[in-house]
Amino acid sequence: MAKGLVKTEENEVDRLLARVEEIQANCNHTFFLPEELALHPSLAVGVFLKQVFEIICSSCSLQMGKNSKETCPVCLSPMTSLGFACKVSPHGDAMESYFGPGEHLYYAPVLYRCGNCGHEVVDQVWDQ
């Protein structure tokens, strides 16, 4: 059996961390992007690739990771799934229209749109 130090009493840092957690749990969050996000366009005009980004609350400094399938990276409103994309390339491949040529045998493009600003995002999902 390994012998080691066992923490038996709370210290000042523990109390401060507990206070921060309490403040964040009771906050009416107002999130913002900490830096301008470079949006990555797909090959379809006006449609962007799914991205992961971070948002921070201006009131309590809570940091959260988001992705552009769920949260609009432009206005931070919820995104809505439009289902499978129907734009097809001249070669008959819907994936090629958004992601370019390649082996897309088992994937299909799904579109998402922001109900507030109309920003559109495409992601590829397993389609078998």
* Contact by Cβ (8 Å): 60, 27: yes
Q: What is the pTM of this model?
A: 0.75
Tokens of 6: 């066992």
* Contact by Cβ (8 Å): 70, 79: yes
Over residues 46-93, the pLDDT tens digits come to 899 999 999 999 999 999 999 999 999 999 999 998 877 665 444 445
Backbone conformation region of residue 2, classed left if phi is above 0, alpha if psi is from -120 to 50, else beta: beta
* Contact by Cβ (8 Å): 106, 126: yes
Over residues 102-119, the pLDDT tens digits come to 665 667 788 899 999 999
